[in-house]
A = this chain, B = another copy of it.
Amino acid sequence: MDNRPIGVFDSGLGGLTVVRELMHLLPRERIIYLGDTGRVPYGGRSRETILKYARQDINFLSTFDLKAIMIACGTVSTTALDTVRSEYALPIFGVAESAAKEAAEITKNNKIGLIGTTASIQSGAYERFIHQYNKEANIYGVACPLFVPLVENGRFQKGDPVIEIVAAEYLDPLKKRGIDTLVLGCTHYPLLDGVISGFMGRGVTLVSTGTQGARFLAEKLSQKDALAAENAEGSRHYYVTDSTENFSRLASIFLGCPVSGLVEQVSIESYDRPHLQK
């Protein structure tokens, strides 16, 4: 039993799709969420910059007495997970790893598609994670740089011609490969579920990083007997790096419900040094 909070971070608010799943699966946990809204998006930046930002995000979260950190950002979890894991004493998990495990296990024809940000696809991390669980799998990755801005501008509804055209362009090569499993490698993408499954058809199972990330974390905490007590009261505390002004509107889209919990702003560049280091 461990009543300490779980830290969750993302480049912006997409990671709230992970929080949504955690609230559902582990309602008694205290969650401290950091969204780096002042520097979002990370997906088109260099590995060096993503790593610098990820370290600052972890340094900030580490100022709380946490039991674990969940990287709810597809880009960071593909680009920086191994490095930050070797640098911090705190247990750190990433959404990419958990989604990769699920995809590796459920594919029947060993043809797995993968969509994500440019940085995620270039990292090759999904291939490495998937092959840990399934050496036979063939993985086909496509970078989808327009999905994040389209989702953030509310263009994720089935039937919207813009998202339909862009999705068809990105997904057509994967459909032609005959994949039976598709990893949605970015925490913004669950909002595109309808559009993506509409295009890919029924024969393709979508694996969402949000859902898998939350399940993976629940499993790990349970194995270590580190879940919150049965009578503990769950809570959420949100931090953002830009103004808190527009947080609630966008956040509720990703959370799938109105925001409850405190929202505060943090000056992230000042967290240049680790609070807890290995």
A residues apposed to B, CB below 8 Å: 37-39, 44-46, 48-49, 145-146, 149-150, 152-153, 155, 161-162, 165-166, 241-243, 245-246, 269
Contact = CB atoms under 8 A, between A and B. Distances in A.
A45 B39 CA distance: 9
Contacts of A44: 152
A153 B45 CA distance: 14
A152 B146 CA distance: 10
11 contacts: A38-B39, A39-B39, A45-B243, A46-B243, A49-B242, A145-B149, A146-B155, A149-B149, A161-B161, A162-B166, A269-B269
Contacts of A165: 161-162, 165
B243 A49 contact: yes
Stoichiometry, copies per complex: 2
Contact of A45 (B38, B150, B152, B269): B38
A145 B45 CA distance: 19
A46 B162 contact: no
Contacts of A153: 145-146
A46 B269 contact: no
Contacts of A246: 46
Contact of A38 (B49, B145, B149, B242): B49
B161 A245 contact: no
